[in-house]
Structure 1
Amino acid sequence: MCSNQEELKQLLQRWDKGSKTVRAEILTQFISQCINMTSSELERHFADCASLFLARITTWIRITYMMGTCLNLQLRAISVFISSASGHRFLTEFLEVGGILTLLEIVGLIQTAEEDKMAALELLSQITVAGRRYKELLCESYAVKVVAECLGRSQSIATQDVARQLLHQLAVGNPRYQSQVYKALVALLPCSSEEAQRMAAHTLREVQPIIGVASATAVEPSLQLLRSLHVDVQQEACQLLKDLVMHEEVRHPLLIGLVGLLKPSVDDSTVQAGNRSTTLPVHVQQAGAAHVIQQLVVMGTNEITDMLIEMSVVPHLLYAMGNTAHSNSQRQASLALKTLLETDTADNSKVRSQVEAIVGDEMCEMILTDVDKVCDHITMAQLDMLTSCLSSESS
């Protein structure tokens, strides 16, 4: 573009005097010609004065980003400099003029277009590649909060995925701020975006081994994910709960929570005869809890199985089997009971005796041999016993 100082001078004058259209043309040409150049190639391209052109782009973006003027082009042009091989000097120059804060403000602005937010997030990701100190600079500028909010509010799955990847990057190799990322991901679990819930749960599973100790604050939001009507969220919730239960510091409250979900609270169950759409998440959560319990027993950890039995999981599963309003609750509870009955533990005979005492020998045998049809053969008398078994247990 500029083989000598005179050509560079003409280009910069054209930029300085040019309209928005002229500057957009210059940026478009620059991106197409220089996108894969190294820093030394960029210097030669601008007659050893590449920093002058970068400074003009960063100045223009700081002035116009709130209006969105050619914002995507500006971000892509800056990316050419920052992502160039051995381009550390360009990164330093960008940061010295407040580049991080500008990018975070772009991401946080409600009026910013999704494609521009994604471009800003990608630039922030490129900054993290430079090393731990740059990750710390981002976190010191409240990047975790801004990026997490973007993930929770964005309407674009592509933008959400870039935000998710950036949060993961900020947790890896960044011990001073990894717990901050962890807390932000936990805070995202109850958000209204199902895709954000799924991504947050998935990233939590990736970050948890880095953090080591599991936080008790993650238990309740993770259990609440089982209410989701979206299969992908349910699957991530199941995997997350299975990962968390391996940590002794949260095992007991998590198992207590799972068993408790098999019998919805009075406030949730009082509307059972009313609006079905109101109660469905409760029933989905009940079925999800039974499924997770069954998966935990399958994992073959006797300590966890014994803890569940001590927490009266058997009568709670039998209670869920009596939920005729939601067939999947019945099916998942039946499968969990079958797995418990087949598990070789010290309390196995106790499981069988509890089941036989409530539904009889014949029903117990059917759970073992033909679990898919057991709910079709429940009599009214057995149904009454199932729905009242927890009352007799507490008395």
Structure 2
Amino acid sequence: MGSAKQQTAMSRIMNLLQEWDKGSKSVRKKILQDFIMQNQSKTGPELEQEFAQAASLFLTRLTAWLRLTYMIGTCLHEQLSAVSIFLSASSGHKFMAEFLEVGGVLTLLEVIGLKQAKEADKAQAVKCIQHIANAGRKYKELVCESYGIRAVAECLAKSKSEETQDACRNLLLMLGQGNPKFEMQVYKGLIALLPCSSPKAQQMAAHSLRVVQATVKQANVSVVEPLLNLLKTLHLEVQFEAIELIKELMDYDVSTSLLKGLVALLRPAKEDSLPRPEILEDPDVPKISAPLPVYVQQAAAAKTIGILARDSNELAEKLIQTRVVHNLMFAMGNQEYADSQRQASITLEYFCRTFPIVDDHVRDAMGEALYDLFMANPETLYVNMNHIQADVLISNKVNIPKLVETVD
């Protein structure tokens, strides 16, 4: 009885494989759709049983067709979804080995780099790579040795689909953990993503760096400039991740460079703050009064300095020994962007209330009238002061190089 059932099953599978071999594109697509619908979440042994111990024959045909047609996109989504079923099957390492032997990783990486590929297909290809990486350290190393980190990072930077970007981010995190041979390469790949043009990719890269940072246990100095440049963004979610990463990097060797950079951003270079020449403006186009990125960065730097100072008196003292007070007062007098003035005022008030020596210097530099106005309500100082008072702030000469003591 069992033998008859086995013969019937084998006959059915042979007919299916013949139908595939002779079938047109539409016939193969229908076979794949049926396979996907009937075999979700099946284990390796269950797939073998479904194919009468001949599942490898179907997988071989599937991978061969994928490699021949992925560049033109023929049934690409169905092919990748079917491959994913084989790769994700528990106790199905045999299928993964067969897929890898025919260059499956390189094929998947090429799919995610295709300009003409649909975003849904790229996301599915990334999920297939995730299944491979999830199989263990040697599989993560195989993906990385196939230049997978660069390919996935580029896909994350260029993708217009949040689903694809999310899949790429998850894969990079997977490759950056439990993979000591390549964790630093993943770390540097994430740093390279910070200057990209996609705000979502920037947010994901900054957040992922916070995770990978704990794994690599050292900070690369190349992170400083692109991280500070993220503060120019008008996207608050990106700015939030950048500030959180700066906070975590205060425990590493790059902290001094970051603090110096933040203080310097409070005084934008003149060439950075010049408006566009009128000849480049179209008089017929309605003007949108968006702030210059350099002023957004100035406001974010003042805000970040305030956050760091409140988190640690030690950091606050290091900041005071730079020109932070001088530069905060300069930012308070910058009437080009109200948020710069507001954030700088809030931060400077904290320094004044915490460090008596700062309070004394600020009072002397401002004069009694402006100082009283400032301490009464720092958040609205920019509204209440006049142009002469703004000039006093901009031209201040405050410098506090010596160590200070906090208020008990």
Please give the TM-score of this superposition, normalised by the length of structure 2.
0.91
Query: Residue 285 of structure 1 corresponds to which residue in structure 2?
Result: 297
How far 1:387 moved relative to its partner? 1.4
Of 367, 380, 393 in structure 2, the residue corresponding to residue 386 of structure 1 is 393
> Is the 1:320–1:330 contact (alpha carbons within 8 Å) kept by the matching residues of 2?
yes
> Is the 1:100–1:124 contact (alpha carbons within 8 Å) kept by the matching residues of 2?
yes
Is residue 371 of structure 2 the alignment partner of residue 367 of structure 1?
A: no
C-alpha distance in structure 2 between counterparts of 1:271 and 1:357, whole Å: 34
Query: Residue 47 of structure 2 corresponds to which residue in structure 1?
Result: 42
How far 1:278 moved relative to its partner? 8.3
Q: Which amino acid aligns with 1:285?
A: Q
How far 1:269 moved relative to its partner? 2.4
Is residue 67 of structure 2 the alignment partner of residue 56 of structure 1?
A: no
Is residue 166 of structure 2 the alignment partner of residue 154 of structure 1?
A: no
Query: Residue 314 of structure 2 corresponds to which residue in structure 1?
Result: 303
Which is richer in helix? 1
C-alpha distance in structure 1 between counterparts of 2:273 and 2:399, whole Å: 19
C-alpha distance in structure 2 between counterparts of 1:54 and 1:181, whole Å: 31
Q: Which amino acid aligns with 1:267?
A: E
Is residue 15 of structure 2 the alignment partner of residue 10 of structure 1?
A: yes
User: How does 1:264-275 map onto structure 2 within 5 Å?
Assistant: 264-271=268-275
Q: Which amino acid aligns with 1:266?
A: K
Q: Which amino acid aligns with 2:315?
A: I
C-alpha distance in structure 2 between counterparts of 1:53 and 1:277, whole Å: 61
> Is the 2:273–2:292 contact (alpha carbons within 8 Å) kept by the matching residues of 1?
no
How far 1:372 moved relative to its partner? 2.2
C-alpha distance in structure 2 between counterparts of 1:279 and 1:389, whole Å: 25
Query: Residue 68 of structure 1 corresponds to which residue in structure 2?
Result: 73
Q: Which amino acid aligns with 1:75?
A: L
How far 1:109 moved relative to its partner? 1.1
Identity, in percent, stands at 47
Is residue 265 of structure 2 the alignment partner of residue 261 of structure 1?
A: yes
> Is the 2:332–2:340 contact (alpha carbons within 8 Å) kept by the matching residues of 1?
yes
Count of aligned pairs between the two proteins: 387
Q: Which amino acid aligns with 1:323?
A: N
Query: Residue 175 of structure 2 corresponds to which residue in structure 1?
Result: 170
C-alpha distance in structure 2 between counterparts of 1:130 and 1:85, whole Å: 10
C-alpha distance in structure 2 between counterparts of 1:367 and 1:86, whole Å: 69
Is residue 357 of structure 2 the alignment partner of residue 350 of structure 1?
A: yes
Q: Which amino acid aligns with 2:266?
A: L
Is residue 323 of structure 2 the alignment partner of residue 328 of structure 1?
A: no
Give secondary structure in 2 for the equivalent of 1:267: coil
Give secondary structure in 1 for the equivalent of 2:234: coil
Q: What does the per-residue CA deviation read over 1:74-121, in whole Å, with 9 as the maximum and x for residues that have no partner?
A: 000011111111111111110011000000000111111111000000
Of 206, 214, 233 in structure 2, the residue corresponding to residue 209 of structure 1 is 214
Of 138, 147, 156 in structure 1, the residue corresponding to residue 143 of structure 2 is 138
How far 1:377 moved relative to its partner? 2.3
C-alpha distance in structure 1 between counterparts of 2:65 and 2:143, whole Å: 22
> Is the 2:352–2:362 contact (alpha carbons within 8 Å) kept by the matching residues of 1?
no
C-alpha distance in structure 2 between counterparts of 1:112 and 1:44, whole Å: 34
Of 312, 321, 324 in structure 2, the residue corresponding to residue 313 of structure 1 is 324
Structure 1 window deviating more from structure 2 (228-237 vs 72-81): it is 228-237
Q: Which amino acid aligns with 1:269?
A: S
Q: Which amino acid aligns with 2:263?
A: V
How far 1:266 moved relative to its partner? 2.0
C-alpha distance in structure 2 between counterparts of 1:342 and 1:246, whole Å: 26
How far 1:187 moved relative to its partner? 0.7
Give secondary structure in 2 for the equivalent of 1:100: helix
Q: What does the per-residue CA deviation read over 1:113-158, in whole Å, with 9 as the maximum and x for residues that have no partner?
A: 1110000001001111101110000000000000000111111111
Structure 1 window deviating more from structure 2 (36-45 vs 266-275): it is 266-275
Q: Which amino acid aligns with 1:16?
A: D
C-alpha distance in structure 1 between counterparts of 2:289 and 2:101, whole Å: 54
Of 294, 308, 315 in structure 1, the residue corresponding to residue 306 of structure 2 is 294
Q: Which amino acid aligns with 1:51?
A: S
Is residue 261 of structure 2 the alignment partner of residue 252 of structure 1?
A: no
Q: Which amino acid aligns with 1:137?
A: L
Q: What does the per-residue CA deviation read over 1:209-238, in whole Å, with 9 as the maximum and x for residues that have no partner?
A: 111111111011000000011111111111
Structure 1 window deviating more from structure 2 (360-369 vs 112-121): it is 360-369
C-alpha distance in structure 2 between counterparts of 1:78 and 1:380, whole Å: 68
How far 1:271 moved relative to its partner? 3.0
Is residue 101 of structure 2 the alignment partner of residue 96 of structure 1?
A: yes
How far 1:246 moved relative to its partner? 2.3
How far 1:279 moved relative to its partner? 5.9
In structure 1, list runs of 5 or more residues that go unmatched.
Answer: none
Q: Which amino acid aligns with 2:295?
A: H
Give secondary structure in 2 for the equivalent of 1:47: coil
CA RMSD of aligned residues (A): 1.9
Query: Residue 404 of structure 2 corresponds to which residue in structure 1?
Result: none
C-alpha distance in structure 2 between counterparts of 1:366 and 1:86, whole Å: 72
C-alpha distance in structure 1 between counterparts of 2:385 and 2:251, whole Å: 36
Give secondary structure in 1 for the equivalent of 2:187: helix
How far 1:369 moved relative to its partner? 3.7
Give secondary structure in 2 for the equivalent of 1:323: coil
